[in-house]
Amino acid sequence: GQNIDQPTEMTATEGAIVQINCTYQTSGFNGLFWYQQHAGEAPTFLSYNVLDGLEEKGRFSSFLSRSKGYSYLLLKELQMKDSASYLCAAWREGGGADGLTFGKGTHLIIQP
């Protein structure tokens, strides 16, 4: 079976840094995706980690530890537009879309 856990809701201040954690338990793990989803909109791809370590993309970074079944998304210099849900998704080997399991999402609220 597969299990993805992430916090339901987080609050942070504009200009600050926030870290959203995700733990997973999945057989045949192949990689970890992060998506951003604004209310009423489609998820948009943020990052993908296969190997252990940090992947940086501008204000967004994602980290993976395969041995610990753990990932985090780091958002720097927070802006009001970053208020959204952040979805962690584990991808198991096989490669097809049926191997992609999403967490419930973390609702991030940015305060002025």
CA dihedral 81, 22, 98, 51 (to 10 degrees): 100
Query: What span, in angstroms and rounded, lies between the C-alpha atoms of 104 and 93?
Result: 21
Q: Tell me whether residue 31 or residue 69 sits nearer to another protein (CB atom).
A: 31
Q: Tell me whether residue 19 or residue 44 sits nearer to another protein (CB atom).
A: 44
Work out how close the CB of 8 gets to another protein at its nearest, in angstroms, rounded to a whole number.
Answer: 9
Q: Tell me whether residue 3 or residue 13 sits nearer to another protein (CB atom).
A: 3
Work out how close the CB of 14 gets to another protein at its nearest, in angstroms, rounded to a whole number.
Answer: 25
- List residues binding another protein (CB under 8 A): 4, 41-45, 48, 87, 89, 91, 95-105
Length of the chain: 112
Q: Tell me whether residue 21 or residue 101 sits nearer to another protein (CB atom).
A: 101
Work out how close the CB of 13 gets to another protein at its nearest, in angstroms, rounded to a whole number.
Answer: 25
Q: Which of 75, 74, 91, 73 has the alpha carbon at shortest distance from 24?
A: 91
CA distances for 15 relative to 21, 71, 75, angstroms: 20, 23, 10
